[in-house]
Structure 1
Amino acid sequence: MAEDIALYHHERWNGKGYPLGIKHTTIPLSARIDEIADVYDALVSERVYKAASTHNEALEIIYAESGCHFDPTIVAAFMTKAEEIKVIYHT
Protein backbone atom coordinates (compact mmCIF):
# COMPACT_ATOMS: atom_id res chain seq x y z
CA MET A 1 0.00 0.00 0.00
CA ALA A 2 2.81 2.42 0.86
CA GLU A 3 4.37 1.75 -2.52
CA ASP A 4 1.07 2.50 -4.27
CA ILE A 5 0.70 5.77 -2.38
CA ALA A 6 4.27 6.82 -3.13
CA LEU A 7 4.05 5.89 -6.81
CA TYR A 8 0.56 7.04 -7.72
CA HIS A 9 -0.57 9.89 -5.45
CA HIS A 10 0.20 12.43 -8.20
CA GLU A 11 -2.07 10.71 -10.70
CA ARG A 12 -5.32 12.54 -11.49
CA TRP A 13 -8.82 11.15 -11.84
CA ASN A 14 -8.94 12.58 -15.39
CA GLY A 15 -5.63 10.94 -16.41
CA LYS A 16 -3.60 14.15 -16.52
CA GLY A 17 -1.35 13.29 -13.58
CA TYR A 18 2.04 11.66 -13.40
CA PRO A 19 4.13 9.51 -13.57
CA LEU A 20 1.97 7.26 -15.78
CA GLY A 21 -1.08 9.33 -16.68
CA ILE A 22 -3.43 6.60 -15.50
CA LYS A 23 -7.01 7.49 -14.60
CA HIS A 24 -10.12 6.52 -12.72
CA THR A 25 -10.07 3.24 -10.81
CA THR A 26 -6.78 2.27 -12.44
CA ILE A 27 -5.26 4.52 -9.76
CA PRO A 28 -4.99 2.47 -6.55
CA LEU A 29 -7.61 3.40 -3.97
CA SER A 30 -4.97 4.17 -1.34
CA ALA A 31 -3.35 6.73 -3.65
CA ARG A 32 -6.71 8.34 -4.49
CA ILE A 33 -7.46 8.75 -0.78
CA ASP A 34 -3.96 10.01 0.01
CA GLU A 35 -4.11 12.61 -2.75
CA ILE A 36 -7.07 14.38 -1.16
CA ALA A 37 -5.50 14.25 2.30
CA ASP A 38 -2.21 15.55 0.92
CA VAL A 39 -3.85 18.42 -0.97
CA TYR A 40 -5.98 19.36 2.06
CA ASP A 41 -2.86 19.47 4.23
CA ALA A 42 -0.97 21.54 1.66
CA LEU A 43 -3.84 24.01 1.36
CA VAL A 44 -4.45 24.61 5.07
CA SER A 45 -0.77 24.69 6.01
CA GLU A 46 1.27 27.86 5.90
CA ARG A 47 4.33 27.62 3.69
CA VAL A 48 7.19 30.06 3.19
CA TYR A 49 5.75 30.81 -0.24
CA LYS A 50 2.04 31.09 0.70
CA ALA A 51 -0.40 31.79 3.49
CA ALA A 52 -2.59 28.98 4.77
CA SER A 53 -6.05 28.65 3.27
CA THR A 54 -8.99 28.34 5.62
CA HIS A 55 -10.70 25.00 6.10
CA ASN A 56 -13.68 26.20 4.04
CA GLU A 57 -11.45 27.51 1.25
CA ALA A 58 -9.70 24.14 1.09
CA LEU A 59 -13.06 22.34 0.91
CA GLU A 60 -14.19 24.59 -1.94
CA ILE A 61 -11.01 23.88 -3.91
CA ILE A 62 -11.26 20.13 -3.36
CA TYR A 63 -14.96 20.10 -4.27
CA ALA A 64 -14.28 22.12 -7.43
CA GLU A 65 -11.72 19.51 -8.52
CA SER A 66 -14.08 16.56 -8.00
CA GLY A 67 -14.21 14.48 -11.18
CA CYS A 68 -11.14 16.18 -12.60
CA HIS A 69 -8.29 16.03 -10.10
CA PHE A 70 -10.03 13.78 -7.55
CA ASP A 71 -12.25 10.71 -7.51
CA PRO A 72 -15.79 12.11 -7.00
CA THR A 73 -16.79 9.27 -4.67
CA ILE A 74 -13.85 9.97 -2.38
CA VAL A 75 -14.54 13.70 -2.46
CA ALA A 76 -18.13 13.00 -1.38
CA ALA A 77 -16.90 10.83 1.50
CA PHE A 78 -14.33 13.46 2.48
CA MET A 79 -17.01 16.14 2.56
CA THR A 80 -19.23 14.09 4.88
CA LYS A 81 -16.36 13.98 7.38
CA ALA A 82 -15.08 17.54 6.79
CA GLU A 83 -15.79 18.86 10.27
CA GLU A 84 -14.16 15.84 11.89
CA ILE A 85 -11.14 16.29 9.63
CA LYS A 86 -10.91 19.93 10.70
CA VAL A 87 -10.90 18.95 14.38
CA ILE A 88 -8.29 16.25 13.83
CA TYR A 89 -6.09 18.60 11.83
CA HIS A 90 -6.13 21.21 14.58
CA THR A 91 -5.34 18.79 17.41
Structure 2
Amino acid sequence: MKKHPEYGYNMLSRVEYLLPALEIPLYHHEKWDGSGYPRGLKGKEIPLSARIFAVVDVWDALTNERPYRPAWSKERALQYIVSQSGIHFDPEVVKIFLEIMQNKI
Protein backbone atom coordinates (compact mmCIF):
# COMPACT_ATOMS: atom_id res chain seq x y z
CA MET A 1 0.00 0.00 0.00
CA LYS A 2 2.74 2.48 0.88
CA LYS A 3 4.27 1.98 -2.57
CA HIS A 4 1.21 3.14 -4.50
CA PRO A 5 2.33 6.80 -4.71
CA GLU A 6 5.52 5.70 -6.44
CA TYR A 7 3.68 3.21 -8.66
CA GLY A 8 1.22 5.93 -9.67
CA TYR A 9 4.03 8.38 -10.34
CA ASN A 10 5.86 5.85 -12.52
CA MET A 11 2.75 4.96 -14.53
CA LEU A 12 1.63 8.56 -15.01
CA SER A 13 5.12 9.82 -15.89
CA ARG A 14 4.67 8.26 -19.32
CA VAL A 15 1.80 10.66 -20.08
CA GLU A 16 3.43 13.88 -21.25
CA TYR A 17 0.60 16.27 -20.45
CA LEU A 18 0.51 15.01 -16.83
CA LEU A 19 4.18 15.77 -16.14
CA PRO A 20 3.46 19.15 -14.48
CA ALA A 21 1.13 17.46 -11.96
CA LEU A 22 3.19 14.39 -11.01
CA GLU A 23 3.98 15.75 -7.55
CA ILE A 24 0.33 15.13 -6.61
CA PRO A 25 0.29 11.33 -6.90
CA LEU A 26 3.82 11.07 -5.54
CA TYR A 27 3.39 13.20 -2.42
CA HIS A 28 -0.33 13.15 -1.53
CA HIS A 29 0.31 10.78 1.42
CA GLU A 30 2.97 12.96 3.01
CA LYS A 31 1.79 14.51 6.27
CA TRP A 32 2.29 18.01 7.62
CA ASP A 33 4.07 16.61 10.71
CA GLY A 34 6.49 14.50 8.62
CA SER A 35 4.99 11.11 9.47
CA GLY A 36 3.70 10.38 5.96
CA TYR A 37 5.14 8.51 3.01
CA PRO A 38 6.93 7.87 0.66
CA ARG A 39 9.64 10.42 1.56
CA GLY A 40 8.65 11.61 5.05
CA LEU A 41 8.43 15.22 3.87
CA LYS A 42 7.26 17.78 6.44
CA GLY A 43 5.37 21.06 6.27
CA LYS A 44 6.14 23.20 3.26
CA GLU A 45 8.60 20.61 1.95
CA ILE A 46 5.43 18.97 0.60
CA PRO A 47 4.39 20.58 -2.70
CA LEU A 48 1.29 22.75 -2.30
CA SER A 49 -0.65 20.79 -4.92
CA ALA A 50 -0.13 17.58 -2.93
CA ARG A 51 -1.11 19.32 0.34
CA ILE A 52 -4.36 20.44 -1.27
CA PHE A 53 -5.03 17.05 -2.81
CA ALA A 54 -4.41 15.30 0.52
CA VAL A 55 -7.38 17.10 2.09
CA VAL A 56 -9.63 16.47 -0.90
CA ASP A 57 -8.56 12.82 -1.09
CA VAL A 58 -9.40 12.19 2.57
CA TRP A 59 -12.69 14.08 2.20
CA ASP A 60 -13.62 11.86 -0.74
CA ALA A 61 -12.54 8.68 1.05
CA LEU A 62 -14.55 9.50 4.17
CA THR A 63 -17.73 10.79 2.58
CA ASN A 64 -18.15 7.93 0.12
CA GLU A 65 -19.14 4.41 1.00
CA ARG A 66 -16.43 1.78 0.91
CA PRO A 67 -16.83 -2.01 0.87
CA TYR A 68 -15.49 -2.10 4.43
CA ARG A 69 -17.51 0.81 5.93
CA PRO A 70 -20.40 3.18 5.29
CA ALA A 71 -19.83 6.77 4.25
CA TRP A 72 -19.34 9.32 7.01
CA SER A 73 -21.60 12.36 7.22
CA LYS A 74 -20.17 15.56 5.84
CA GLU A 75 -20.16 17.04 9.33
CA ARG A 76 -18.19 14.12 10.77
CA ALA A 77 -15.69 14.24 7.90
CA LEU A 78 -15.19 17.99 8.40
CA GLN A 79 -14.61 17.45 12.13
CA TYR A 80 -12.00 14.81 11.34
CA ILE A 81 -10.21 17.06 8.85
CA VAL A 82 -10.17 19.90 11.39
CA SER A 83 -8.79 17.51 14.04
CA GLN A 84 -5.92 16.63 11.68
CA SER A 85 -5.00 20.23 10.87
CA GLY A 86 -1.32 20.68 11.73
CA ILE A 87 -0.83 16.92 12.02
CA HIS A 88 -1.86 15.34 8.74
CA PHE A 89 -2.88 18.49 6.87
CA ASP A 90 -1.51 21.96 6.21
CA PRO A 91 -3.51 24.26 8.53
CA GLU A 92 -3.85 26.94 5.85
CA VAL A 93 -5.22 24.44 3.34
CA VAL A 94 -7.70 23.18 5.94
CA LYS A 95 -8.81 26.75 6.67
CA ILE A 96 -9.52 27.45 2.99
CA PHE A 97 -11.17 24.04 2.51
CA LEU A 98 -13.52 24.79 5.42
CA GLU A 99 -14.40 28.18 3.98
CA ILE A 100 -15.28 26.56 0.66
CA MET A 101 -17.24 23.74 2.27
CA GLN A 102 -19.20 26.03 4.62
CA ASN A 103 -20.66 27.66 1.52
CA LYS A 104 -21.63 24.27 0.03
CA ILE A 105 -23.07 22.48 3.05
Consecutive unaligned residues of structure 1, counting only runs of 5 or more, are 87-91
Residues 31-70 of structure 1 aligned to structure 2 (within 5 Å): 31-70=50-89
Aligned residues: 86
Q: Which TM-score applies when normalising by structure 2?
A: 0.78
Q: Deviations over 1:40-78 (max 9, x none)?
A: 000000011000000000000000000000000000001
Displacement of 1:2: 2.0
SS of residue paired to 2:22: helix
Residue 90 of structure 2: which of 52, 71, 91 is its match?
71
Moved over 4 A (4+): none
* Cα-Cα RMSD: 1.1
* Counterpart selection for 1:13 from 12, 32, 36: 32
Task: Select the structure of larger CA radius of gyration.
Answer: 2
**Percent identity of paired positions between Structure 1 and Structure 2:** 48
Q: 1:89 — aligned with what?
A: none
Looking at structure 2, the residues matched to 46 and 71 of structure 1 have their Cα atoms a distance apart, in angstroms, of 25
CA drift at 1:6: 0.8
Deviation of 1:33 after TM superposition, in Å, equals: 0.1
Q: Distance in 1 between matches of 2:96 and 2:72?
A: 21
